[in-house]
Amino acid sequence: DAKTTQPPSMDCAEGRAANLPCNHSTISGNEYVYWYRQIHSQGPQYIIHGLKNNETNEMASLIITEDRKSSTLILPHATLRDTAVYYCIVRTLTTSGTYKYIFGTGTRLKVLA
Amino acid sequence: DVKVTQSSRYLVKRTGEKVFLECVQDMDHENMFWYRQDPGLGLRLIYFSYDVKMKEKGDIPEGYSVSREKKERFSLILESASTNQTSMYLCASSFEGPYEQYFGPGTRLTVT
């Protein structure tokens, strides 16, 4: 199964862009990259996902390298409420045809006032 | 909004007790998942279910079993709780196919 590697922690100034890197060098061609975040005492919340192309939604942008071995989640204007643990996840297919997530250990992002 | 609810936020049980953790989703999702979350280890998949009465082992199924008798409900069972099962347990659900998972708030289980 593909694994992801993330830095354990990062700081970002409020109003600045937060760039969270992730390595997934063993990812297979049909495995998607997902990003979730978890605010203290809550369940993880979906942010964005992608396969090959860069993606953008109202929360964030996802940049995936051409070789698909790494990606970066970008929060364009970080606020204090973005302080959370961010998980980079590879979605893989099981033998039963169900999609399952393989979580990394996450990056604890602290947004500073 | 999708709602995934878990029966308890906090639970304290004794070693050897049988423990039931319940999860209910209201979006008619086919898939349901149980994870445990421990410091430094992230989320690890215990079991999942892709249909009523169907289940598949995740990455750490030892010491756990599951039950799915109705589509909206997925139970995690600790037959004989042990102290190393003290953890945060998270339930999630999703539609069949390449769709995101929705997580419940978690149950913090302490086994003494």
Closest-CA residue in chain A for B54? A96
Q: Do A43 and B45 touch (CB under 8 A)?
A: no
| Nearest beta carbon to residue A43 from set B54, B100, B103 | B103
Tens place of pLDDT per residue across chain A (113 aa): 668 999 999 999 999 999 999 999 989 888 999 999 999 888 999 999 999 989 999 999 999 999 999 999 999 999 999 999 999 999 988 888 888 898 988 999 999 99
Nearest to A100 by CA among B22, B26, B50: B50
**Amino acid symbol at B12:** V
Closest-CA residue in chain A for B4? A43
Looking at residue A28, the DSSP 8-state letter turns out to be -
3-state secondary structure of A23: strand
* pLDDT tens by residue, B58-80: 999 999 999 999 999 999 999 99
Q: Please give the torsion angle defined by the CA atoms of residues B85, B67, A89 and B38, in that order, rounded to the nearest 10 degrees.
A: -10
Q: CB contact, 8 Å: B39 with chain A? A: no
Which tokens hold the place of B62?
């030892």
